[in-house]
Chain A
């Protein structure tokens, strides 16, 4: 009886070990793990930024340039306080749904510190801002988010299905 148990325990241990190894390999596969920054943190960070980064910020107002001839999207991503700005170039895919100025975005790619530019491999928009209406963190986009009726409390933050729409290459 006891021997049979040992066989199962051994098999389980082996398989779990294999799973752990596999997950470490998966974690280290190219593009799998990215350090996440806000724009101001990325500017302040002195190391590690040449690797893949993910920047969590807002599309700076008045910076969106979509060039159909060159098939590229350029904009700046800014932090909440509007103190740090980083250039973004995105050629890997079309711009994601509900991308617009003042919109929360997550940019993944390689950061070039010399030119302060992120060569984006992936661009995600956060929940469409109408859905985040009236929520302090986002409200500084001057209630434009809410059609101008930003104070109404309560039903704020409707983070339903399209929490983020993606655009992957």
Chain B
């Protein structure tokens, strides 16, 4: 009676069969003619765009007429687009691995002697490849939505898929190369250029292909971009459900249940993407830090701030059916900020202002889609305004609702501040040009602005991380507050007091001394972190005690059962542990970082943070697969004892690159990282180095991502039950 499961299964089987056969065919045909065969994937991108366009149209007609036949066809269109994008991606990977330098993209991002894993990661090492990769993820999300809704009629998902298909069309058209600035990944290299490369090779040029940027040839760049792109793209799914729900007009909270896993997945990938990006900067850029408030970093942070706010405020809608408009606004802003960030980065809007004219078409394309999406969302909210108004009201400032509201307020304000800082050059240029009549003047803001703002806000947020989960709904009573917060507060106070003396000592021993404000912030940070850890520990303890009384054999099984039975809640607690750890690590590695410029001649020594560094021996040269490292051996010893490690800070000269890159060398210890970047070596062998001591850097770079993965995975494994919230008009 319901043909939907069978039809969906058939569509997916056909898709996989097509993928297998076409990939095999592609490989076989490429033996005959590797230039002509690239016509297939090149055409497949156009076909995918066509399939997305068809899906848009068919969803529009099918949803309007409530006609199942059109909707079925539209869902098939999505599956077709997904299959073709996947096929193209596989072909590009094959092309990269097979060194087909007649394809422009391969020539730009790879060289024959580039290690295999970096040939593969060249998929996202350049503009058009990463756009294809983006499309592959986006269409996979849509296909997964089709698959998950196969069992029964699911009108909401059909509406959401309609929204997805519009976004798919937008990005697929980019990959197809309709806008100058991004080209089809299978565009062939211009014949003249090809001829000149051949001539150069004949004349003895060492290598063909421009090769991937050396800065990207690092293991972290193999996992950071997929995470970040994954996060960006998956944000589309909850947005599609929000808009789909408004289009459908049922006014139910079903969209929250349907989009929950997507939201958590997007959040997890964004979190990891940002953390791993920081780790990449730390390891690769040689300036001893992991976050510099660069526009690109900000562009990745903004959607994270919004989706994290959304993640929290949906709980209020689920429980009390409030903040409906707010939630739609938050997830819409997440999507719009992804689009905006992509525009900033892809169109070179910020750092290379001179490229304005160059990418104006791309800018116009992104800008108009951004504007249209914004108008559409605003219009839809206005249309559904009456349906979306809240029935319930806020009762007390001392309640979970209020805590969540403050949390949201901080996230949104932070996002506004970061956004304002990021686009300040553009705003101020407009101001000077149009208001003051001074052309070409703009103002840039830098780290001190962000730090001065984000530190106090971040500390309030951290405190709320502890308060929010424990405080009661509606109105907290004195006994609720005492029961949940007395011990954690005490623990936090003890920890902060214990830190007063050491912080004062470190402050007085540092050359410039510590400003009072910094000491206060540091102590508050210790207090709040321990407070948060305390609330989580107390909550676990209460749960475990009950389990043990009810017959759990031991502590571990009690912990496991507890987490397993309420995955969303305890997954969230684990994430909160990660948040507290992040603050502790950031306090150490930012607040207490030591950084010294050091010059050493062979044989000389230097003292830092209890370590003795000795320039032991001569400068060295080492050959890697496609790189030569020029460095110096530095022997590290703890004061008084023998050598404990040898560090080899160096600069890497890649064959296909003109400039050398930093290859910082790090001694990782529990207390902190000793990090040495080499600036240069002169003829006498004297080395110019920047030496950093980053206390607890590993907490931010390694421990936090791991905890976040665990917490996020537990949340993802939640058993989602949909029950309409109280007061819903259904």
Contacts and interface: CB of A to CB of B under 8 A. Distances in A.
Interface stretch (B448-456, B575-583, B709-717): B448-456
Interface residues of B, number: 101
B93 interface: no
A25 B457 CA distance: 14
Contacts of A154: 104, 177, 180, 183, 187
A161 B354 contact: no
Contact of B658 (A25, A32, A100): A100
A68 B681 contact: yes
A127 B352 contact: yes
A104 B450 CA distance: 25
B443 A35 contact: yes
Given A8-B397, A94-B286, A126-B352, A162 B449 contact: no
Given A167-B286, A168-B292, A33 B394 contact: no
B445 A16 contact: no
Interface in A71-130: 71, 80, 91, 93-100, 103-104, 106, 108, 122, 126-128, 130
B8 to A, nearest CB: 36
Given A80-B354, A154-B183, A26 B682 contact: no
Contacts of A137: 352, 354-355, 357-358
B4 interface: no
Interface in A5-61: 5, 7-8, 11-12, 15-16, 19, 22-23, 25-27, 29-38, 41, 54, 56
B150 interface: no
Contact of B449 (A19, A29, A163, A168): A29
Nearest to A135: B358
Interface stretch (B122-130, B239-247, B260-268, B326-334): B122-130
Given A33-B449, A97-B215, A160-B125, A166 B285 contact: yes
A13 B376 CA distance: 29
Given A29-B452, A130-B657, A136-B358, A5 B393 contact: yes
A23 to B, nearest CB: 6
Interface bracket on A: 35 or more
A163 B292 contact: no
B467 to A, nearest CB: 15
A94 to B, nearest CB: 4
B447 interface: yes
Given A5-B394, A69-B682, A165-B215, A159 B127 contact: yes
A101 to B, nearest CB: 10
Contact of B216 (A93, A95, A100, A162): A162
Residue picked from B224, B393, B420, B446, most chain A C-beta under 10 Å: B446
B359 interface: yes
A93 B287 contact: yes
A97 B355 contact: no
B50 interface: no
A148 interface: yes
Nearest to A30: B448
A119 to B, nearest CB: 16
A149 B358 CA distance: 18
Interface stretch (B343-351, B553-561, B633-641, B722-730): B343-351
Nearest to A44: B440
A14 to B, nearest CB: 11
A104 B395 CA distance: 56
A99 B659 contact: yes
Closest 9 pairs (CB-CB, A-B): A26-B452, A32-B449, A94-B679, A137-B354, A154-B183, A32-B448, A158-B127, A26-B453, A68-B682
27 contacts: A4-B396, A22-B452, A26-B417, A26-B448, A27-B445, A33-B424, A35-B442, A36-B443, A68-B680, A96-B287, A131-B213, A154-B104, A154-B177, A155-B182, A155-B183, A156-B127, A157-B181, A159-B346, A160-B124, A161-B225, A162-B216, A163-B345, A164-B351, A166-B285, A166-B294, A167-B287, A168-B447
Interface of B: 104-105, 108, 124-128, 130, 177, 180-183, 187, 189-190, 192-193, 196-197, 200, 210, 213, 215-216, 221, 224-225, 277, 280-281, 284-287, 289, 292, 294-296, 345-348, 351-355, 357-359, 393-397, 402, 405-406, 409, 413, 417, 420, 424-425, 440-453, 456-457, 595, 597, 599, 657-659, 661-662, 677, 679-682, 686-690
